[in-house]
Homo-oligomer: A and B are copies of this chain.
């Protein structure tokens, strides 16, 4: 459906993710996007949080536009694309879909850091990370 390589993560809405308005709370969309990002990393043979590792990926920015509502037990897909790769930052684009209906579109920007005790410093993204993510995106779009 798309010429840009993208990864698809499927999920179902859980009860505790809804609020008194009867729909998924808007803050959950950012968690769904993160879950899809981390699933892409696993598909690439990577993990965003190596146990005992000193590299981290804190967020610099996140935004989301909400187009339609998600309800309890509905299944949906989160599509992830790598929108921009800079020396120290990755920008992901997401589309959340229930069937053909667009629920939300968003972007999240992360920076690669090395963590010390109580500190962190932006570093160059390891080349291998980008290569593996791009390979996983190509493979899942193929």
Contacts and interface: CB of A to CB of B under 8 A. Distances in A.
A31 B15 CA distance: 9
**Copies of this chain per assembly:** 4
A98 interface: no
Contacts of A65: 60-61
Size class of A's contact patch?
35 or more
B73 A47 contact: yes
B62 A26 contact: yes
Interface stretch (A16-24, A88-96, A122-130): A16-24
A109 to B, nearest CB: 9
Contact of A23 (B34, B58, B69): B58
Interface stretch (A49-57, A76-84, A133-141): A49-57
